Amino acid sequence: MSKKYKRTSLLDPKLLRSSARLAFVKLKPTLLAQNPIMFTVGIASLLATVLMIRDLSNGTFSPIDAQITVWLWITVLFGNFAEAVAEGRGKAEADSLRRKKIETMAKKVSSVDDKAYKTVPATQLAIGDLVLVEAGDIIPGDGDVVHGIATVDESSITGESAPVIRESNSDRSAVTGGTRIISDSIIVQIGTNPGESFLDRMIGLVEGARRQKTPNEVALNIFLVGLTLIFLIVCVTLQGFAAFSGGLLPVIYLIALFIALIPTTIGGLLSAIRIAGMDRLVRFNVITKSGRAVEAAGDIDTLLLDKTGTVTLGNRMASAFIPVNGMREKDVAEAAFLSSLADDTPEGKSIVRLAEKKFNFHGEKTRTEGMRFLAFSAQSRMSGVDTENYSIRKGAPDSIFSLCGGGRSAAIEEAIERVAKTGGTPLLVAKDKRILGIIHLKDIIKPGIHERFATLRRMGIRTVMITGDNPVTAAAISAEAGVDDFLAEATPEMKLNLIRKEQAEGKLVAMCGDGSNDAPALAQADVGLAMNTGTMAAREAGNMIDLDNDPTKLIEVVMIGKQLLMSRGTLTTFSIANDIAKYFAILPALFIDIYPTMGTLNIMHLQSPESAILSAIIFNALILVALIPLALRGVRFSPGPANLVLRRNLLIYGLGGILVPFIGIKIIDMIVSVFMGG
């Protein structure tokens, strides 16, 4: 996980206090009924309480029954507590977001050219309204810039302090309500109705207002309910079998057996796992629109990654000067250097830096008054410098050739091709219409990305790099970065088709995007991560939004999805495996009156039947609370092939699930019997 992950203490005392209170609030039947397993425990506790009261009134009361009853209620409370802690952590995030939502006034205009505005509260704005936002103003709602350009401080949403540029008719036209304009003024067309804004939705999501159970969670719930029903049949019929065998079992013991057997651990922690999983994303500055998407993230088979920003650093860098026509490297470097002195593009700057480094040129000293610089234009496709003595041009090979009226030679062609083949971009440098050599511009692969792709491959996830480059360049870069495949000269349609093709093969695809033309693909993908700086359309189409605009995060999103599913599976296995020990604790105690020989099955040598049953039920309650941190933090996930991950997990939690309760129940029994004996 990256350093950006905001860690808050798992067990913040304030949170624990409020959660403890909520655990009691959640005893309300309507709230409890949302969790079928905990609801069952609640009913069992109620039944035990009624029985206890009956015993009290007719004088057959025994303290052990009261203790069991108390521990049953504690089990319910622990389950509620787990859920409350998870929700509380989400709520803390929501509260901090809500504080950012200040009531703002908007300057409503009737058209883009309208100079006069009307001041209205932001809550009254509807879709399509135009508002003027000037330096210092807070943007009143989500929307697109339809006129102008401005710098915006989005730190309230993203936590990133550097201001960003928003301008009309570009891929950076979306603005978010609640952010502040620092300079200039823009006209924004409002894109959402009040109460539906981005911030509102974020708050809603984080708070859990829209947290529906995910599909796999629904299935797991059905499974757990099925198990509960089976154990209900087991426990109810057991009384009958006991009656046939010549003795009735104390009902409270049967209730204890039932609660011990049903999967309370996973049942109590299931929603905590989900909430914690979504919170991990929020803390990671990724907002999900549905829990379904988080689950889908774990299932991703193919990752579509944009080259720029994900695989490579944003810009190309000059990496070599290649002389031709008998020139020296220094001649090429000097010409390239001079022509780039006023070039503010990252490529231009990198040429200057490379020349300075290689040949000790000095930018500031060299620049003189007499130099006339030509900036790069889309028409000429070159830039350069003119002085009285010379004229230098650098640019794409075709434009330089036509400038020089030819000048092609086998050596030049070959050099150009060599550069292109390694994934570089060749720029020709000509002085006075004579070609001196080639500047090799190179894509810089992000450090560490190669290893990450290797990890993904070991996890069975295929990576596809999407680029507008030609196939030769794309192939070279993808080979260097270690992606599995690439889509060169990609258009939005090609992206969409690729996603459809992969999906037709049954695969799940994740991608990220920001432009309006990415919207169809984002909507088609199973996980569409839209950049927060992207257009409104892109943000609407994706099912997740990255507030930090870091496409690399797609990889983290997949990991978080996997971790969520793993935690769920792990605690389920653990919960079921626990039952073996509980049987050995409770059954001998239950049957010893009917068949004294049953003591043989008491392999843990628990002190007395009473202490055995009590210990099992105490263990059952304590293990639930002991596993809350694991549910919130998630099972440690070290990426690797499925079989390896599974083996490690089974060894720890499968075997642990069988052994831990044997040890735990024995220890509790030792403690309990001290009290009982005393």
Partner 1 sequence: MMGNSLLQFAFFAFVTMVLAIPCAHYFTRLFAPKAAGGGLAFEPLERLLTKVVGPKILHQQNWKEYLLSLIVFNLVGAVFLYLMLRLQGYLPWNPEGFGNIPPALALNITLSWLTDTGWQAYAGETTLSFFSQMVALTSQNFLSCATGLGVSFAVARAFIQRENSALGNFYADVARSTFYVLLPLTFFFALFLIDQGIPQNLDPSVQATTLEGASQTISQGPIASQIAAKIIGANGGGFFHTNAAHPYENPTPLTNMMQIVAILVIPIALVLFFGQIVGDKRQGWSLFAGLTILFLILVFLCAYFEQMHHPVLSALNVDQKITSTNPGGNMEGKEVRCGIFTSALWTVATTSTTQGSVNSSLDSYMPLGAVVPLLNMLFGEVVYGGVGYGRYGVLIYAMITVFIAGLKVGRTPEYLGKKIEAREIKLAGLVMLITPICVLGFSLASLLLPQGAASIMAEGPHGLTQTVYAYASSAANNGTAFNGFNADTVYQNLVLGLVILIGRFGVIIPALAIAGSLAAKKIVPQSVGTFSTQGPLFVLLLTSTIILFGGLVYFPMLALGPVAEHLALFAH
Under rule CB under 8 A, which residues in 548-567 are in contact with partner 1?
A: 561-563, 565-566
For 255, the 3-state DSSP assignment is: helix
> Could you identify the residue written with the tokens 């735990």?
664
Question: Which residues, in sequence order, are bridge partners of residue 317?
Answer: 442
| Residues between 344 and 403 that touch partner 1 (CB under 8 A) | none
Residue 127 DSSP one-character state: T
CA distance 154 to 175: 9
**Of 259-318, which residues contact partner 1 (CB under 8 A)?**
261, 295, 298-299, 301
Q: Is the separation of the CB atoms in 305 and 466 below 8 Å?
A: yes
Q: What track of x and - describes contact with partner 1 for positions 142 through 181 (by CB under 8 A)?
A: ----------------------------------------
- Sites for partner 1 among residues 491-520 (CB under 8 A): 505-508
| Cβ atoms of 512 and 530 closer than 8 Å | yes
User: In whole angstroms, how close is the CB of 213 to partner 1 at the nearest point?
Assistant: 10
Rg (CA), the chain: 34
| Residue pair 329/321 in contact by the 8 Å Cβ criterion | yes
Output 644-647 pairs: Cβ under 8 A, ≥24 positions apart: 645/566
Give the residue with the Cβ less far from partner 1, 33 or 218. Answer: 218
- Binding range to partner 1, per CB under 8 A, among 136-144, 240-248, 391-399, 482-490: 240-248
Maximum C-alpha span of the chain? 117
Residue closer to partner 1 (CB basis): 369 or 505: 505
Q: Which of residues 177-216 bind partner 1 (CB under 8 A)?
A: 215-216
Residue 68 CA to residue 73 CA, distance in Å, equals: 9
Which is closer to partner 1, CB of 50 or CB of 218?
218
| 248 in contact with partner 1 (CB under 8 A) | no
Task: Give yes or no for residue 656 binding partner 1 (CB under 8 A).
Answer: no
Contact 185, 148 (CB under 8 A): yes
If binding is defined by CB under 8 A, does position 659 make contact with partner 1?
A: no
Instruction: Read off the DSSP letter of residue 446.
Output: P
Least distance CB 520 / partner 1 (angstroms): 21
Q: Give the CA count within 13 Å in the CB-facing half-sphere of 345.
A: 18
Interface pick for partner 1 out of 72, 278, 531, 645 (rule CB under 8 A): 645
Q: Is the CB of 233 or the CB of 444 nearer to partner 1?
A: 233
| Dist. CA 44–CA 49, nearest whole Å | 9
Smallest separation, CB 51 to partner 1 (Å): 21
**Residue carrying the six token digits 């774990």:** 298
Give the active site residue among 142, 144, 306, 546.
306
- Cβ proximity to partner 1, 633 vs 647, nearer residue: 647
| Contact assessment for residue 368 and residue 385, using Cβ atoms and an 8 Å cutoff | no
Q: Are 628 and 270 in contact (CB under 8 A)?
A: no
Binding of residue 240 to partner 1 (CB under 8 A): yes
Q: Tell me: does residue 51 bind partner 1 (CB under 8 A).
A: no
Q: For residue 622, state whether it binds partner 1 (rule: CB under 8 A).
A: no
Question: Which residue number, 395 or 482, has a Cβ lying nearer to partner 1?
Answer: 482
Burial of 678 (0-12, 13-18, 19+ CB in 10 A): exposed
Listed in order, strand segments (DSSP E) in 63-215 are 105-109, 118-121, 130-133, 143-153, 164-167, 174-175, 180-183, 186-190
CB of 461 within 8 A of CB of 303? yes
Phi, psi for 18 (deg, rounded to 5):
-70, -35
Residue 306 is among the residues annotated as catalytic for this protein: yes
Q: In terms of CB distance, is 134 or 299 closer to partner 1?
A: 299
Chain positions 75 to 114 lying near partner 1, rule: CB under 8 A, are none
The one among 210, 367, 421, 647 contacting partner 1 by CB under 8 A: 647
Residue type, 31: L
Binding string, residues 213-232; x marks residues near partner 1 by CB under 8 A = --xx-xxx-xx-xx--xxx-
Q: Give min distance, CB of 550 to partner 1, in A.
A: 22
Burial 252-265, CB ≥16 within 10 A → b, else e: bbbbbbbbbbbbbb
- Which lies closer to partner 1 via its Cβ, residue 189 or residue 288? 288
How many residues lie near partner 1 (CB under 8 A)? 72
Using CB under 8 A as the binding rule, whether residue 242 contacts partner 1 is answered as: yes
User: Mask of contacts with partner 1, 116-145, x by CB under 8 A?
Assistant: ------------------------------
Q: Please report whether residue 657 would count as binding partner 1 according to CB under 8 A.
A: no
Residues 312-341 binding partner 1 (CB under 8 A) are: none
How many residues comprise the chain?
678
The residues in 569-598 that bind partner 1, with binding defined as CB under 8 A, are 569-570, 572-573, 576-577, 579-580, 583, 587, 590-591, 594-595, 597-598
Q: Which two tokens stand for residue 418?
A: 């060599």
What is the x/- site pattern for partner 1, positions 424-463, by CB under 8 A?
----------------------------------xxxxx-
Q: Please list the active-site residues.
A: 306
